[in-house]
């Protein structure tokens, strides 16, 4: 909720929709994202206060990849390395589940996010795309971090990495 309140233009979800979720949905999401190799959420907290998060999932249309679906750091921790730590743990998790790459979609005007992703080896792999399900018409650009160089050499790699996005954060 803190992420959506702070940066509503950066996420597919809305604060209104997420606030309306019943507690059982939140418990189910937490359970799913704490075990297995298809979903993971990593949190950064100070005391009981949320200070950062990253959500990673296995996209159904490109299951050999993992998709970084949401990343956020509280304004008080920006520029401290917190985003680097969250990104490192998400990428390491993707490696442990044998993903061949980590893809993400970022708002192109979020230059701080684009810079951190590039610093971690992500590359822009396509043109900006509008989210057809978003009445506000948010635009995102795809980025990719290759984890398996042999797979990356295959002629189908980029097309697979660019499979249509899916919001499976649940």
Q: To which residue do tokens 């649940």 refer?
A: 170
Q: To which residue do tokens 């399900």 refer?
A: 133
Crossing angle, helix 111-119 and helix 82-96, to 10 degrees? Answer: 50
What per-residue confidence (pLDDT) applies to 155? 95
What per-residue confidence (pLDDT) applies to 164? 80
- Distance CA(63)–CA(60), nearest Å, equals 5
What per-residue confidence (pLDDT) applies to 12? 60
- Distance CA(19)–CA(17), nearest Å, equals 5
Nearest to 82 by CA among 119, 125, 56, 45: 45
What is the chain's length?
Answer: 170
What per-residue confidence (pLDDT) applies to 139? 87
* pLDDT tens digit at each of 170 positions of the chain: 566 566 665 556 665 776 677 767 756 666 666 667 888 888 888 888 888 989 899 988 899 999 998 888 888 888 899 999 999 999 999 999 999 999 999 989 889 999 999 999 999 999 998 877 776 777 889 999 999 999 999 999 999 999 887 655 54
Angstrom distances, CA of residue 144 to CA of 16, 112, 139, 159, 161: 30, 17, 17, 12, 7
Beta-sheet strands, E only, within the chain: 39-46, 49-57, 66-73, 101-106, 123-124, 129-130, 139-146
The pair of structure tokens assigned to 161 is: 């990495």
CB 12 within 8 A of CB 131: yes
CATH classification code of 2-161 = 3.40.630.30
- Distance CA(117)–CA(142), nearest Å, equals 11
């Amino acid at each position: 909720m803190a992420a959506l309140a702070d940066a509503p233009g950066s996420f597919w979800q809305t604060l209104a929709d997420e606030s309306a979720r019943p507690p059982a949905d939140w418990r189910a999401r937490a359970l799913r994202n704490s075990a297995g190799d298809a979903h993971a959420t990593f949190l950064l907290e100070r005391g009981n206060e949320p200070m950062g998060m990253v959500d990673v999932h296995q996209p159904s249309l490109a299951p050999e990849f993992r998709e970084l679906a949401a990343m956020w750091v509280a304004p008080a921790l920006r520029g401290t390395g917190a985003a680097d730590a969250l990104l490192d743990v998400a990428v390491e998790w993707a490696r442990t589940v044998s993903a061949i790459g980590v893809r993400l979609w970022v708002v192109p005007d979020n230059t701080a996010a684009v810079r951190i992703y590039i610093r971690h080896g992500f590359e822009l792999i396509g043109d900006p795309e509008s989210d057809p399900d978003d009445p506000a018409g948010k635009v995102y650009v795809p980025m990719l971090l290759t984890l398996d160089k042999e797979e990356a050499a295959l002629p189908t790699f980029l097309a697979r990495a660019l499979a249509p996005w899916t919001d499976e954060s649940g």
